[in-house]
Structure 1
Amino acid sequence: MNNRNRRPGDLSEDVEDHSRDSCQDQTHRKLKNRHIQLIGIGGTIGTLLFVQIGSALTKGGPASLFLAFAVWCTFILAMNNCLAEMVTWMPISSPFARYADRFVDPALGFASGVNYFIYEASIVPFEMVAFNLVIHYWTDEIPLSACIVFILVCYASFNLFAVRFYGEMEFWLGSGKIILAIGLIIFTCITMLGGNPLHDRYGFRNWDSSKVLGAPFAEYIETGNLGRFLGFLACLILAAITVTGPEYVSMTAGEAEHPRRDMPKAFNSVFFRLTTFFLLGTLCVGTIVPYSDPDLRKALSDARPGAGSSPYVIAMQHLNIKVLPDIVNALILSSVFSAGNSYVYCGSRTLFGLALEGKAPKFLAKCNSSGVPVYCVGVMIAIGLLSFLQVSNSSAVVLQWFVQLETASQVLNYAMISFSYIRFYNALKAQGISRDILPYKSPWQPFCAYYALTVTFIMAFVAGYIVFLPGQWEKTTFLFSYAMIGVCPALYLFWKILKKTKWRDLEEIDFFNKERAEIDAYER
């Protein structure tokens, strides 16, 4: 049956599976709308927003920090539009890696899935290293090994139960993140107007060049306009891995209770998350503490516990505010834990999606009676053992390694998503299928997809720019920054040669396949 003659809900038996090796999805649709909303926030707000953002502030200054995050938010909105349209059409497990298979080439689906799995696998130990760093705000008596084992046991426990239990955990942990983010914005507004023990009405003093030398655009590495541009670039690179969201929402698609009803709501809320948590958050960070603050710089260079974990804590100490730093640090600790928990979930579902497509060992596609891919969760927990790297290296050094690896994987993942959407859009057009029949029709397409593809292509090569500056060469930085640019094409060629895959013809892309029919039947 020709695709253009099919209609949503057609249960015809002549549909050909995309992979002979594919397995049946045994996950359960138990995630409610409130779970999906908070899981999206859980993966979005974490260590980078509260811990690492101080590093970007010292390099670029308050204005560069705010502008960099504002620019990257426009890109995330474009990416959100691409994912929302595809995910609501076919809400399946590990969606965007499998869309690359459906709309482009099975080899790209393999490269996309492995790349995103590497991203999630690297960010889990990152959050664990950060957890250990933040907890030492109170004491140095807790052994590093004991802290790591405790976190791994918790992650395993929360992810091996039924997905509804995981959703409930993330709902409450995500609620704590929202309280923390909004609370810090309110804290900034009150203290800048003089509501602090010192009665210091500091306002936007830290943005004033007459009060803070070099503000609001700081020079980084070089002097003059070049130095200010490099400072902005440093902020933009951090924004590239800090400002996220749509991909975490999409990862819940295969386990959403009412995907066609709830997924559009979750995607639509991304704009408000970006505005509230990231734009206002970065504005506050640049306001409460000067970019040149010696305590902030020393804390970051020494990876000092507590003060090194958050610019907010440093600001509170400067203003002689008692107790509140402990409360903030406790909420940051729960935020870091929640983020790592979300990454274990997303990473395990990515690996599960690869197994469903026959691109990973079949045993990884097996689920327990609660619909949890237990072997995939086990792999993610095992990868968390990489956090033991900090036993022989400084926490700050290990954090930087993971940040560099995450940046490259993240932007390449976005590039493959945007290219998959371009193929999705063009295939609909080639087959004469109107986008008006889609459950969700996103605005400004295909401009958003081309914009996202262009930005990610540029950022993939810019992310490790610092190693090419005079006197800045460092082999480890180069390796972690650019390894994935070589690995992804190698993965694509490996699978294409091994399986002799073909580039999918726009006229033959199947929009009404068996999976789509099953989802339609489930919705009815």
Structure 2
Amino acid sequence: MGVEKNPPIDIDVEKLSSDNESVSNTGSSTSNSINDFKAKINIEKHGITKRGLNSRHVNLMIISQSIGSGLFISVKTPLVTSGSLGFFIAFAIWAFLVVYPLMQAVGILCCYLPIKGSFFHYCARYVDSSLGFAASMIYIYTTMMFVCLEATAVAQCISYWTNLNPGVWITICILLYLMMGLIGVNYYGEIEFYTGIMKILLIVGLMLFSLISMCGGNSKGDAYGFRNWHPLFKPYLVDGNTGKFLAFWNSLLWAAFAAGGADNLALIAGEVINPRKNVAMAAKRSYIRIYLFYIGGIFFLNSLISANNPQLLDAMTNGGEGAAGSPWVIGIKAVGVKGLDSLINALIMSSAFSCGNAFFYCSTRSIYSAAIAGYLPRFFGKCLKNGAPVYCVLLTFAVSLLSYLNVSNSGTVVFNWFVNLCATGIICAYLCIWWSYFNFRKAWEKQNNMKMKHSQYPYYLGPKFLHPFMTYAGLIITVLVLIFNGFWIFFPGNFNASNFLTSYFAPIFLVCLFIFWKILKRTKFKTSSNADITSDLKEIDEELEAEINELENKPKSNNKFLKIVHKINSFLFD
């Protein structure tokens, strides 16, 4: 089974050199596939991204990435609106029935074909090239706006300590994003690894504090237990059980925007070392994020502070910079413990910075994927020697300057319009991933004349209980959230153009982009018979086999300390 390594083989996804020029064409290679999608990389002219993320990077990133200031500050909104139990159930449903199966679906797609085009190319190859175009444009805009949003959150956290103009901190933040975008992806992985550790320490520390405090370990000696779990449900918009259901649904919508990460895994797959092992491991361990952040964090937050806490209600009404508006800090003060505000604020700031950095990365790689697919000008595929897509980084940086609109009150109105228009963009991306996943399964089974079962499928397939029940449940909930995310605007007094566009601009724009590209390029929907599941597969198999052989033949260090570090790393992250 080995590939001879004399000299070392350097094969990469979407890197099929022709005789005349070093151009990679990934498109339909099967005789019966529809040839309306071709991805190209001119390696000599533009370079190519590099695989530099190892298992340690990937596992920490998937556990902690996309966890920003929302789960530490903005989380007060659904808690106050829905009540303790309604809020908890909504988060649990989204985490178990959408986040987990969607992470597995992405793991299955990326382990089979870990290409540099991410899920946009899966959309084009398995569904329709027009869907790839529409998904990429919506997602690029969404991630760019989230970069601005998190940069503003960092400035707000710093404003907790100083009254200096927030524009100073926004400048520092986005310049750091620019710098990290231009260095190699391995350095990006290191930065995210250590900020991920800080996020984990923060949430674990807050959970332990809540546990000890509810058992009586506080300055008041009050073993309050589950006393703060009240009211369990609160009505929203109307009274009675209908109002309580609407409050629950409102929390489910908030969870949909705050709890995700599957798109991140899809985007990093093209730059992961040994992706079929490391992406599969990351998908498997996504349950850690669910239990640690989504279930454990929300459970202990409810135990620490009531949904009717007067200080929490005041923070909702009057706002508060950084930790001052965090329900965690308000709850800690309520049990008589003071002095932790600055520490928690610093950790929340690092979370917001890390989340913004992750969105900056996702934006640059999305632009890169769109460029090599021909959805954007090809020069955006230009990479530095370290693999950084330089023009993609510069474009994202340029758009991130919109963050300065938040410095003035009049600019904030404009900025909020930009952000609100992309509010449901991430949900649209999830829907496109689901569509690609189901079409891929059907195409693989049709073209291989066998069922996709663990005993017959050679790649990562997720747990046996995943498909079809959890995957279809995840798809249905995602569709319902996208359709009914703006339910509240149809109640008296809430309907206006701003609210309607906030809720429905992204899905409407997605459909418009899809129709535009379909008319322009005359694309056709793929069927299970002609969906392109074979292009690049042989090249990826050869690349990864060569990569594994190179890792196995790499000289082992005799340093005992490094051996111990390696064993600890393997135990934790392999």
In the superposition, the TM-score normalised over structure 1's length comes to 0.91
Query: Which of 284, 287, 295 is equivalent to 2:300?
Result: 284
> Is residue 76 of structure 1 aligned with residue 118 of structure 2?
no
> Is residue 23 of structure 1 aligned with residue 37 of structure 2?
no
Query: Which of 355, 359, 372 is equivalent to 2:388?
Result: 372
Deviation at residue 69 of structure 1 after TM alignment: 0.4
Check the 8 A contact 1:134/1:309 in 2, yes or no. Answer: no
In the alignment, what sits opposite 1:4?
A: none
Query: Which of 327, 335, 343 is equivalent to 1:311?
Result: 327
Check the 8 A contact 1:38/1:171 in 2, yes or no. Answer: yes
> Is residue 437 of structure 1 aligned with residue 460 of structure 2?
no
Deviation at residue 185 of structure 1 after TM alignment: 0.6
State how far apart, in whole Å, the 2-side matches of 1:164 and 1:333 are.
23
In the alignment, what sits opposite 1:106?
A: 129
In the alignment, what sits opposite 1:144?
A: 166
Check the 8 A contact 1:95/1:251 in 2, yes or no. Answer: yes
Deviation at residue 137 of structure 1 after TM alignment: 1.7
Check the 8 A contact 1:42/1:338 in 2, yes or no. Answer: no
Check the 8 A contact 1:219/1:227 in 2, yes or no. Answer: yes
In the alignment, what sits opposite 2:23?
A: none
> Is residue 519 of structure 1 aligned with residue 540 of structure 2?
yes
81-90 vs 304-313, which moves further: 304-313
State how far apart, in whole Å, the 1-side matches of 2:189 and 2:542 are.
25
Change (3 A) 1:407 1:448: farther
Deviation at residue 447 of structure 1 after TM alignment: 3.7
Check the 8 A contact 1:126/1:402 in 2, yes or no. Answer: no
SS at match of 1:188: helix
One-letter amino acid matched to 2:141 = I
Mind listing any 5+ residue stretches in structure 1 that lack a counterpart?
A: 1-10, 209-214
Deviation at residue 389 of structure 1 after TM alignment: 2.7
Check the 8 A contact 1:37/1:249 in 2, yes or no. Answer: no
Check the 8 A contact 2:88/2:299 in 1, yes or no. Answer: yes
474-483 vs 255-264, which moves further: 474-483
Cα RMSD for the two superposed structures: 2.2
One-letter amino acid matched to 1:358 = G
- Deviation readout 1:63-99 (Å, 9 max, x if unpaired): 0110000110121122122211111000112421110
One-letter amino acid matched to 1:62 = S
Check the 8 A contact 1:85/1:438 in 2, yes or no. Answer: no
State how far apart, in whole Å, the 2-side matches of 1:22 and 1:349 are.
15
Change (3 A) 1:361 1:505: same
State how far apart, in whole Å, the 2-side matches of 1:165 and 1:483 are.
36
Deviation at residue 231 of structure 1 after TM alignment: 1.3
Mind listing any 5+ residue stretches in structure 2 that lack a counterpart?
A: 1-15, 19-27, 546-574
The total of aligned residue pairs comes to 506
SS at match of 1:23: strand
Deviation at residue 12 of structure 1 after TM alignment: 13
In the superposition, the TM-score normalised over structure 2's length comes to 0.84
Deviation at residue 403 of structure 1 after TM alignment: 6.9
SS at match of 1:207: coil
Check the 8 A contact 2:324/2:341 in 1, yes or no. Answer: no
SS at match of 2:100: helix
Change (3 A) 1:21 1:99: closer
Give the 5 Å matches for 1:161-180: 161-180=183-202
- Deviation readout 1:466-495 (Å, 9 max, x if unpaired): 111112223322212111121001100111
Query: Which of 151, 154, 160 is equivalent to 1:128?
Result: 151
Give the 5 Å matches for 1:52-67: 52-67=74-89
In the alignment, what sits opposite 1:33?
A: 55
Deviation at residue 397 of structure 1 after TM alignment: 7.2
Change (3 A) 1:150 1:12: closer
- Deviation readout 1:13-59 (Å, 9 max, x if unpaired): 99378645622570111110111112223433111111110111000
Deviation at residue 512 of structure 1 after TM alignment: 2.1
**% identical equivalent positions:** 34
Check the 8 A contact 2:405/2:412 in 1, yes or no. Answer: no
Give the 5 Å matches for 1:315-334: 315-334=331-350
307-316 vs 490-499, which moves further: 307-316
- Deviation readout 1:370-413 (Å, 9 max, x if unpaired): 10101111122222122223233399978976775454112211
In the alignment, what sits opposite 2:214?
A: 192
State how far apart, in whole Å, the 1-side matches of 2:86 and 2:410 are.
28
> Is residue 118 of structure 1 aligned with residue 141 of structure 2?
yes
State how far apart, in whole Å, the 1-side matches of 2:413 and 2:317 are.
10
> Is residue 216 of structure 1 aligned with residue 232 of structure 2?
yes
- Deviation readout 1:236-260 (Å, 9 max, x if unpaired): 1110011112221221110001111
Change (3 A) 1:249 1:490: same
SS at match of 2:41: coil
245-254 vs 491-500, which moves further: 245-254
State how far apart, in whole Å, the 2-side matches of 1:399 and 1:309 are.
21
Deviation at residue 440 of structure 1 after TM alignment: 0.6
In the alignment, what sits opposite 1:5?
A: none
In the alignment, what sits opposite 1:452?
A: 474
In the alignment, what sits opposite 2:398?
A: 382
Change (3 A) 1:170 1:129: same
Change (3 A) 1:242 1:395: farther
State how far apart, in whole Å, the 2-side matches of 1:429 and 1:421 are.
12
State how far apart, in whole Å, the 1-side matches of 2:418 and 2:205 are.
29
Query: Which of 255, 269, 284 is equivalent to 2:271?
Result: 255
State how far apart, in whole Å, the 1-side matches of 2:238 and 2:127 are.
43
279-288 vs 473-482, which moves further: 473-482
Query: Which of 290, 303, 309 is equivalent to 1:274?
Result: 290
In the alignment, what sits opposite 1:494?
A: 516
Deviation at residue 317 of structure 1 after TM alignment: 2.1
Check the 8 A contact 1:296/1:307 in 2, yes or no. Answer: no
State how far apart, in whole Å, the 2-side matches of 1:251 and 1:96 are.
7
